[in-house]
Amino acid sequence: MLPLRIGLISDTHGLLRPQALAALAGCDHILHAGDIGKPEILEALRQLAPLTAVRGNNDTQDWATKIPHDASLQLGGVSLYLVHDQADIPDDLAARGVAVVVTGHSHKPLITERAGLLHVNPGSAGPRRFRLPVSVGLLRIGERRVEADLITLAIDH
């Protein structure tokens, strides 16, 4: 079985860069960890792969009310939990069998392990904030193994 490629994107804030679309092309599923900015971004991502998205703290417009605050899903036999802000991560995820937590909000790309859970923040793919990189992430899931990578996007400014 070929590994599943799961694209991770967050904090687009209304800007979906062509570099982000190119980095996510060929993914089997895409997770958007909130602060989407406008519904057209979700439509564009759905053109690439099945999409699971959560609402961020800035997604307050009427179109965003249907988007859940968090999501639990199984991909390739691995349980994942998606929420915008890491402050909203429940304490019982390990007991629920979750292996991977995907968040956004901080705009800081990060891969770390905490309490047996793989935490991934793909950073921000939207407008650059401070001197932080513009980035997306990638999960590869195969044979119940999960590997995560961060991809810094080449942008003009």
In what side-by-side order are the strands of the sheet with 110-114?
A: 70-75, 78-83, 100-102, 117-121, 110-114
- Collect contacts of 71-76 with beta carbons under 8 A, ≥24 apart: 72/96, 72/98, 75/4, 75/6, 75/28, 75/29, 75/141, 76/3, 76/4, 76/141, 76/142, 76/144
Q: How far apart are CA 13 and CA 51, in angstroms?
A: 17
pLDDT tens, the chain, 157 aa long: 568 999 999 999 999 999 999 999 999 999 999 999 999 999 999 999 999 999 999 999 999 999 999 999 999 999 999 999 999 999 999 999 999 999 999 999 999 999 889 999 999 999 888 888 999 999 999 886 899 999 999 887 5
What is the set of domains in the chain, with CATH numbers? 4-152 (3.60.21.10)
Q: Which of 76, 78, 64, 70 is nearest to 117 (CA)?
A: 78
**Residue 68, CA atoms < 13 Å, CB-side half-sphere:** 12
Asked if 105 and 10 count as a contact pair (C-beta separation under 8 A), the reply is yes
Asked if 11 and 150 count as a contact pair (C-beta separation under 8 A), the reply is no
